[in-house]
Structure 1
Amino acid sequence: MRVFQIEGDWGMEHLKLSSRPEPVAGPGQVLVRMKASSLNYRDLVVPERGYGSYTGTLPLIPVSDGVGVVDAVGAGVSRVAVGDRVCPTYFQSWTGGEPDLERLTQSLGGPVDGTMTELMCLSEQGVVKVPAHLSDTQAASLPCAALTAWSALTSAGGCRLGDRVLVQGCGGVALFALQFAKLLGAHVTVITSSEERMDKVKKLGADAVLNYRTVPEWAKATREFTGGRGYDLIVELGGEKTLPQSLRCIRPGGTIAMIGILSGSTMATSLGHIITRQVRLQGVTVGHRDGFEAMLRAMEQHQVQPIVDRVFEFAELKEAMAYLKSGVQFGKVCLAH
């Protein structure tokens, strides 16, 4: 079967279209014929061994997110049946409960082989059925980006009807956060870098938008959207350069869901804001299977449609990665298998 794998040594130049023998489903396992994959920023980091020893060993099949159809099942499988359309879960060992080291280290696309393959053999505990209203590419976008946004708003952020939520940017996680926050009844502010994207997020339901390039000190300006009260929840995706401003526009007792470090990973801000205003700084790393299934129920109930920007062919993985790295996309970058 065809696979993309990092082989020989780390580095994007060692990511190659290759082949492996077809796997066979054993007891408790399912064989999934993959239909589509979706890229995340993480997938650009893994080939460079950006997560150190947690990245895994070579050869490694990259890419965390995807969808496929169950092709065969092993003995004792009861969660799914042949013909079911399923997404592999990002954390294969985290079905529910609190995170621990084992649950947080068995992630697809490094150190566990990812979705850029024709067939995946997985534990039945590591897949979820997907709603019929989603296309393959839309469903492929869910395991990492969508669940991260859902976790940030629900289990981490406790988003409630009428809350004020600020979302940074228009990447995959950000757009899901906008869609889910509106579903939960929140007032949503989006900061982005262009007038064109401002128009697009307004059409998706954003209540207030601001161009952070024309208003680089956006904390005061966005706080005015809340009547001076501050935000109940901020979906923090920038990291080093955005966190100081997030701390200036979060309300006392509010939550900053720390997801991304796109502008840098160093903590360069006054910690006094966190302490004296009792701000909760909560790290969010995707989520568990129970949360995934809760999210899917909500998406089906409200017919939520993920935003897909562009679809590449399987063999165009490197081109798709270069497109994602360019940052011009609005929505998810996907690959059809």
Structure 2
Amino acid sequence: MKAWLLNDFGLDNLVLRDTPTSEPKAGELLVKVGAVSLNFRDKAIVDGIYEPHKVPKPLIPVSDAAGTVVAVGEGVSRFRVGDRVNSHLYSRWIDGPPGPDEPDYCFGSPLPGGLAEYMIIHEDSAVRAPDNMSDEEASTLPIAALTAWYSLVDYGQIKAGHSVLVQGTGGVSIFAIQLATALGARVIVTSSNDANLEAAMKLGAVAGVNYRTHPDWEEQVLKLTDGKGVDLLLDVAGGNGLNQSIAATKAAGKIAQIGFLTGQTTELGLMPLIFRQTTIRGIAVAPRSAFDRMNAFLNENQIRPVIDKVYSFAEARQAYEHLERGAFGKVVIKIA
């Protein structure tokens, strides 16, 4: 099969090569990949800043895939040939709280990912792809949509009338706007791009704050919430901006710490955290059971993924470059 292989860190070391197609073992599915979508994690792996000590070389990267089952191993019962499935990042996290070693069984590193013509997925970790979505659309769900869902529903327990702040307009953030709006929440979005803020409001956000125009963006959020702050804040930036996130969240409110776009470390002011009694939880996607619940909600509410651009299989590097420049929604690579 054709596959993109990461031989060393750096995008120049991602090369298209022929490699053997694996045979499905007991309990496994061989999936003909239709499409994959890129997440910041995928770029960070290529750049060598995402647990580089765990990245095998060569590696078939990219965790999020959708495709069709073309062969099954012995004993498979959940799926059959012809079914359309999604990969699930944490291949062994099925339900309940995560185990201590879930990152050791992630697709796209250290397990082989989906940037190839075929992919092996164990039947227990595969998720039935939504019938009403193309492979390109379904490929956007495993990290971006599911992270937003888990933050809002399982952790945030968002209900109608609650307020949510979403940082940026990338994949997780756009899904969060769509999902939170469908849940009846009042959504505020931050971005450095006024056009993206306008587009986000067309998706359901009630207000937007340009953090370049307003560096103290948390003050604008407080004005928009009558001085209280939001019930839940989805922080995709990380870094020292976490202090502003605390200030923008209501007393006893919650922060879902999702990303690290501006830094993997932070100098945190403890007194505001203590006095505001803020809860901060790291969110690393979700178990497969949440994926199943989310897909039902997406279908019920007719939520469709927002895709910025679809690239061909041969244009994988250009897709990574697009992600680095920034995307409104998701960047997808069509394989089949």
The superposition leaves residues 279-326 of structure 1 with CA deviations (integer Å, 9 ceiling, x where unpaired) of: 101100111100111111100111110100001001111111111101
Calculate the TM-score normalised by the size of structure 1.
0.96
1:199-210 equivalent positions in 2, closer than 5 A: 199-210=198-209
Count of residues in correspondence between the two structures: 335
The superposition leaves residues 143-188 of structure 1 with CA deviations (integer Å, 9 ceiling, x where unpaired) of: 1111111111112212122111000110111001111111111110
Q: Percent identity?
A: 39
Calculate the TM-score normalised by the size of structure 2.
0.96
Secondary structure of the 2:239 match is coil
**Following the alignment from structure 2 to structure 1, what is the Cα–Cα distance between the partners of residues 14 and 197?**
36
The superposition leaves residues 9-65 of structure 1 with CA deviations (integer Å, 9 ceiling, x where unpaired) of: 333222110111122122211110000010111111112332335533111100111
Instruction: Let me know the Cα RMSD of the aligned residues.
Output: 1.3
Alpha carbons 1:49, 1:55 under 8 Å: kept: no
Alpha carbons 1:38, 1:66 under 8 Å: kept: yes
Alpha carbons 2:86, 2:126 under 8 Å: kept: yes
Does 2:291 correspond to 1:292? yes
Change in Cα spacing, 1:251 to 1:271, as seen in structure 2 (3 Å) is same
For structure 2, the residue ranges without an aligned partner over 5 or more in a row are none
Aligned match of 1:171: 170
Does 2:318 correspond to 1:324? no
Letter in 1 for 2:328: F
Aligned match of 2:5: 5
Alpha carbons 1:168, 1:190 under 8 Å: kept: yes
**Following the alignment from structure 1 to structure 2, what is the Cα–Cα distance between the partners of residues 276 and 217?**
20
**Following the alignment from structure 1 to structure 2, what is the Cα–Cα distance between the partners of residues 159 and 270?**
27
1:109-148 equivalent positions in 2, closer than 5 A: 109-148=108-147
Aligned match of 1:254: 253
Letter in 2 for 1:41: F
1:294-309 equivalent positions in 2, closer than 5 A: 294-309=293-308
Alpha carbons 1:54, 1:110 under 8 Å: kept: no
Which shows bigger deviation, 237-246 or 282-291? Answer: 237-246
**Following the alignment from structure 1 to structure 2, what is the Cα–Cα distance between the partners of residues 52 and 18?**
25
Alpha carbons 2:243, 2:269 under 8 Å: kept: yes
Secondary structure of the 2:215 match is coil
Letter in 2 for 1:22: T
**Following the alignment from structure 1 to structure 2, what is the Cα–Cα distance between the partners of residues 314 and 4?**
9
Alpha carbons 1:94, 1:104 under 8 Å: kept: no
For structure 1, the residue ranges without an aligned partner over 5 or more in a row are none
1:1-337 equivalent positions in 2, closer than 5 A: 1-7=1-7, 9-52=8-51, 55-327=54-326, 329-337=327-335
**Following the alignment from structure 2 to structure 1, what is the Cα–Cα distance between the partners of residues 122 and 69?**
12
